[in-house]
């Protein structure tokens, strides 16, 4: 089995791909893999403060020092600079694997596959493979897709249960990408019925970005927050722990088709109940009525969230159901088996 691997890019505590690789590094460490890291840019102080040298035994290679990748199997998650510099990286590494975490292709991803520079494409879900793989499989070069079983380390988050009942606390969280928002979101929040006052946080708001897509009254109302119980906050204005501690129910609909949202895992690990879109990766995370609620319309979002506001005991059971599913489906045993197989494919390619 592979004894060492180099990740191209950098892990962090926020962002889909960056948090996924952070959890994956903990997994690799438990598998006895020596982890190296070659960032594509400057390693900012907040990244150094993560102390990954101690946390996962990480060894840094100087940023963009591609010659130092000689002899390594290299992996990168959704990193555009990795794709940009891949012709140089491939001169030195044993294999280069790319995990596209989206449900659409990067143009550079297609170009690098056409050039035969990507040895393995890693996918988290079947629906993602169907949507992303179709543009890559007939470009005249070997296409080697591998299924990657995501790992989530729940003890990085505090599980909050038996929460305060003086208010009904709702949240939504995302980066400030307009595709992550839906113009019906505020209408849903306003129509949710609760026996106690509502307290709602929208984290990841950007007037400049979102109003370009939704230049209507609904988006403007979100910016102005006319209801005193709604707070729209810019990215990183509160910590993840503060957000999930607040959020009894994570109620969010979006225009995007999600692959496998990391915020879903974070919510499950924190005891924040998911009320989300009935499509994409949410369907894999949520068993409707057991570990959360899936919704196909604003009316369902309103009705199911209102039901949770009025049924404390049901909420508590749902929290524990979701945590149990998280540990069973995305725990370390299954992920280790999966990465073992991926590593064997890498080694066999260069024999």
**What CATH number does the domain containing 9 carry?**
3.40.50.2000
Q: Residue 199 — very low, low, confident or very high, per pLDDT cuts 50/70/90?
A: very high
Handedness of CA 217, 293, 309, 234 (dihedral sign): negative
Which residues have a Cβ under 8 Å from the Cβ of 208 and sit 6 or more positions away? Answer: none
Residue 88 vs residue 182, higher pLDDT: 88
User: Residue 212's pLDDT is what?
Assistant: 59
229 and 278: one domain? yes
228 and 325: one domain? yes
User: Residue 217's pLDDT is what?
Assistant: 42
- Mean pLDDT over 213-220 rounds to 52
User: Residue 213's pLDDT is what?
Assistant: 57
Q: Residue 188 — very low, low, confident or very high, per pLDDT cuts 50/70/90?
A: very high
Q: Residue 59 — very low, low, confident or very high, per pLDDT cuts 50/70/90?
A: very high
- Structural contact between residues 34 and 61, judged by C-beta atoms closer than 8 angstroms: no
User: Residue 215's pLDDT is what?
Assistant: 54
339 and 300: one domain? no
Nearest residue to 27 (alpha-carbon basis) of 332, 334, 342, 338? 332
- Mean pLDDT over 258-263 rounds to 92
- Mean pLDDT over 148-154 rounds to 93
Pairing between strand 292-295 and 59-61?
unpaired
Q: Residue 232 — very low, low, confident or very high, per pLDDT cuts 50/70/90?
A: confident
User: Residue 316 pLDDT > 50, yes or no?
Assistant: yes
User: How far apart are the C-alpha atoms of 289 and 287, rounded to whole Å?
Assistant: 6
322 and 337: one domain? no
User: How far apart are the C-alpha atoms of 162 and 320, rounded to whole Å?
Assistant: 11
The domain of 299 spans 155-329
285 and 216: one domain? yes
Domain count, the chain: 2
% of the chain beyond a pLDDT of 90: 77
Nearest residue to 99 (alpha-carbon basis) of 5, 222, 1, 236? 5
Q: Mean pLDDT check: name the lowest of 205-209, 246-250, 259-263, 321-325.
A: 205-209
CA dihedral 232, 237, 239, 243 (to 10 degrees): -10
CA dihedral 243, 249, 253, 259 (to 10 degrees): 70
User: Residue 85 pLDDT > 50, yes or no?
Assistant: yes
194 and 120: one domain? no
User: How far apart are the C-alpha atoms of 161 and 124, rounded to whole Å?
Assistant: 29
13 and 135: one domain? yes
Residue 313 vs residue 217, higher pLDDT: 313
% of the chain beyond a pLDDT of 70: 94
Nearest residue to 296 (alpha-carbon basis) of 316, 271, 279, 319? 279
66 and 160: one domain? no
- Structural contact between residues 106 and 80, judged by C-beta atoms closer than 8 angstroms: yes
User: How far apart are the C-alpha atoms of 103 and 124, rounded to whole Å?
Assistant: 10
Residue 10 vs residue 234, higher pLDDT: 10
CA 82 to chain centre: 19
Which parts of the chain fold into alpha helices (H)?
A: 16-30, 45-48, 52-55, 80-84, 86-89, 107-114, 126-133, 185-191, 207-213, 217-224, 240-246, 262-270, 282-285, 298-309, 312-329, 332-349
User: How far apart are the C-alpha atoms of 173 and 244, rounded to whole Å?
Assistant: 10
321 and 224: one domain? yes
User: Residue 206's pLDDT is what?
Assistant: 66
- Mean pLDDT over 321-327 rounds to 96
Collapsing DSSP states into helix, strand and coil, what is residue 82?
helix
User: Residue 133 pLDDT > 70, yes or no?
Assistant: yes
Q: What is the mean pLDDT of the chain?
A: 92
208 and 139: one domain? no
pTM: 0.90
Handedness of CA 26, 47, 77, 240 (dihedral sign): positive
- Structural contact between residues 109 and 129, judged by C-beta atoms closer than 8 angstroms: no
- Mean pLDDT over 36-48 rounds to 93
120 and 182: one domain? no
User: Residue 227 pLDDT > 80, yes or no?
Assistant: no
């Amino acid at each position: 089995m592979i004894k060492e691997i180099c990740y191209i890019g950098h892990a962090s505590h926020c962002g889909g791909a960056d948090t996924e690789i952070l959890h994956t590094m903990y997994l690799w460490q438990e598998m006895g893999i020596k982890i190296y890291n070659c960032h594509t840019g400057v390693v900012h102080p907040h990244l150094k403060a993560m102390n990954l040298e101690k946390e996962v035994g990480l060894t840094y290679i100087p940023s963009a020092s591609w010659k130092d990748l000689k002899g390594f199997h290299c992996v990168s998650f959704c990193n555009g600079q990795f794709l940009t510099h891949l012709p140089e990286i491939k001169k030195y590494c044993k294999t280069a694997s790319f995990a596209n975490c989206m449900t659409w292709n990067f143009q550079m991803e297609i170009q690098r596959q056409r050039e035969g520079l990507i040895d393995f494409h890693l996918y988290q879900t079947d629906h993602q493979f169907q949507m992303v793989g179709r543009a890559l499989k007939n470009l005249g070069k070997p296409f080697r897709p591998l299924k990657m079983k995501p790992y989530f380390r729940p003890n990085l988050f505090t599980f909050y249960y038996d929460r305060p009942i003086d208010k009904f606390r709702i949240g939504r969280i995302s980066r400030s990408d307009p595709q992550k928002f839906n113009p019906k979101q505020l209408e849903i929040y306003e129509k949710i019925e609760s026996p106690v006052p509502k307290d709602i946080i929208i984290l990841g708001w950007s007037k400049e970005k979102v109003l370009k897509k939704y230049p209507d009254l609904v988006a403007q109302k979100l910016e102005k927050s006319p209801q005193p119980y709604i707070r729209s906050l810019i990215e990183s204005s509160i910590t993840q722990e503060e957000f999930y501690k607040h959020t009894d129910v994570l109620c969010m609909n979006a225009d995007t088709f999600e692959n496998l949202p990391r915020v879903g895992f974070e919510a499950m690990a924190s005891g924040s109940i998911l009320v989300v879109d009935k499509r994409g990766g949410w369907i894999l995370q949520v068993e409707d009525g057991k570990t959360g609620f899936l919704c196909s319309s604003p009316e369902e979002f309103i009705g199911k969230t209102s039901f949770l506001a009025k049924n404390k005991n049901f909420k508590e059971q749902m929290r524990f159901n979701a945590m149990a599913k998280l540990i069973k489906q995305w725990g370390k045993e299954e992920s280790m088996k999966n990465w073992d197989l991926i590593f064997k494919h890498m080694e066999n390619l260069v024999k």
